Amino acid sequence: MSDNTTEIAVVGFAHAPHVPETFGTTNGVEMLAPCFQELYAKLGIGVSDIGFWCSGSSDYLAGRAFSFISAIDSIGAVPPINESHVEMDAAWALYEAYVKLRSGQAETALVYGFGKSSAGTLRQILSLQTDPYLVAPLWPDSVSIAGMQARAGLDAGKWTEADMAAVAARSNGGDAEKLLAEAKVADPFRPHDIAPITDGAAAIVLAVGDRARELCERPAWLTGIAHYIDTPVLGARDLTVSESTAKAAAAAINGAGTDFDVAELHAQYSHEELILKQAIGLNGNTRINPSGGPLSGNPMFAAGLERIGFAATEIFNGTANRALAHASSGPALQQNLVATLEAR
């Protein structure tokens, strides 16, 4: 989905600290409120200036029903707001907000996501994302499913353990050879191959046309956004490639070329970055995950939104003119969203 009928830009981004554990509630209020206040201060706006609110989170992760409703406490009861929610990473909430703005129903939107991964046994909770009849009853944890994907690529000769270590070393500032010397924790994974369990939250403000230019000196214009889904049947697809990412990238880029200055990829395991780079067609000139990526901090249901926020920040700061952001949801890169942003 892309054209210039309605120009929409990211004009603000804030995120909570990436920490292994917080002592707040699972509805994210304690993490979200500072993010909102930071955005209000940066942009010189208040609650009444936001035309639409949309959030992404998971009641399974929060351990409570309608946790997204109690998260609205971080916004406040007055004035009344126009609000929606997706039970996914908040990158998909941003897609909904994008459609809302494109339809002319609002000029501004605030999108947010949150997750308290430390509240339960994360790797088992994520098993609930799998097929409820044939896979979930087996309780395959998320690391085991990702390990199957990594092993498939290794056995097919599509990447090596050294390639995986190089991804992790760049993300965390480590030494690839030293990382390879570490013991495996879930074959073929070593500790550096797996994103850390992280509590966190993030928020993004979108605005239309002249309103975006009023709020931000150098807006990050959304030139394309698309998402596609692969089958949830793990044995029915080639796990060493990501067809849905390739389709989403082709739709979002729309023939404009892959010469991006920066790309933020939602790779929660080191091998996933290798799959995503190939699926998108990124060349060696693109800086990948200068933020450190999910391997340095992976707040569930906010990390995909953060990829868009960090990519936009590169444009805000003048360190990039063209950026790509990717978000994923589900096991083994099942669902993928790609957004392209640029300065004008």
Q: Do residue 312 and residue 228 come from a single domain?
A: yes
Beta strands in the chain (DSSP E): 8-15, 52-56, 83-86, 108-116, 197-208, 220-229, 262-264, 287-288, 298-299, 322-329, 335-342
Residues in the chain: 344
Are the beta carbons of 161 and 271 closer than 8 angstroms? no
CA distance 166 to 118: 28
Are the beta carbons of 261 and 310 closer than 8 angstroms? no
Are the beta carbons of 133 and 150 closer than 8 angstroms? no
226-236 average pLDDT score: 94
Determine, yes or no, domain membership for 167: no
Number of domains present in the structure of the chain: 2
Domain final residue, candidates 149, 182, 215? 215
Determine, yes or no, domain membership for 88: yes
170-183 average pLDDT score: 94
Domain final residue, candidates 215, 250, 285? 215
Q: State pTM to two decimals.
A: 0.96
Q: Half-sphere exposure (CA, 13 Å, Cβ side) for 114?
A: 30
Phi, psi angle pair for 151, to nearest 5°: -65, -40
* pLDDT value of position 145: 96
What CATH number is attached to the domain comprising 333? 3.40.47.10
Domain final residue, candidates 188, 215, 242? 215
CA distance 156 to 235: 16
pLDDT tens, position by position, 35-45: 999 999 999 99
* pLDDT value of position 5: 56
Q: Half-sphere exposure (CA, 13 Å, Cβ side) for 87?
A: 12
Span of 204-213, 229-238, 268-277, 299-308 with lowest mean pLDDT? 229-238
Determine, yes or no, domain membership for 285: yes
Determine, yes or no, domain membership for 155: no
Q: Do residue 209 and residue 316 come from a single domain?
A: no
- Single-letter residue type at 198: T
* pLDDT value of position 3: 45
Q: Do residue 234 and residue 314 come from a single domain?
A: yes
Q: Do residue 58 and residue 205 come from a single domain?
A: yes
pLDDT tens, position by position, 109-122: 999 999 999 988 88
Q: Do residue 202 and residue 231 come from a single domain?
A: no
Q: Do residue 282 and residue 202 come from a single domain?
A: no
Q: How many CB atoms lie within 10 A of CB 151?
A: 16
1 confidence band (pLDDT: 50, 70, 90): very low
- Where does residue 34 rank: exposed (0-12), middle (13-18), buried (19+ CB within 10 A)? middle
Determine, yes or no, domain membership for 138: no
Close Cβ partners of 41 (under 8 Å, ≥ 6 residues apart)? none
Q: Do residue 260 and residue 117 come from a single domain?
A: no
Q: Do residue 306 and residue 235 come from a single domain?
A: yes
pLDDT tens, position by position, 120-171: 888 888 888 888 898 899 999 999 999 999 999 999 999 999 999 999 999 9
Q: Do residue 210 and residue 84 come from a single domain?
A: yes
Determine, yes or no, domain membership for 151: no
**Sign (positive or negative) of CA dihedral 157, 161, 162, 166:** positive
Q: Do residue 210 and residue 231 come from a single domain?
A: no
* pLDDT value of position 4: 44
User: Domain span at residue 49?
Assistant: 8-121+196-215
First to last CA, the chain: 19
Between these two residues, 189 and 65, which has the higher pLDDT value? 189
Span of 94-103, 127-136, 189-198, 250-259 with lowest mean pLDDT? 127-136
Q: Do residue 208 and residue 91 come from a single domain?
A: yes
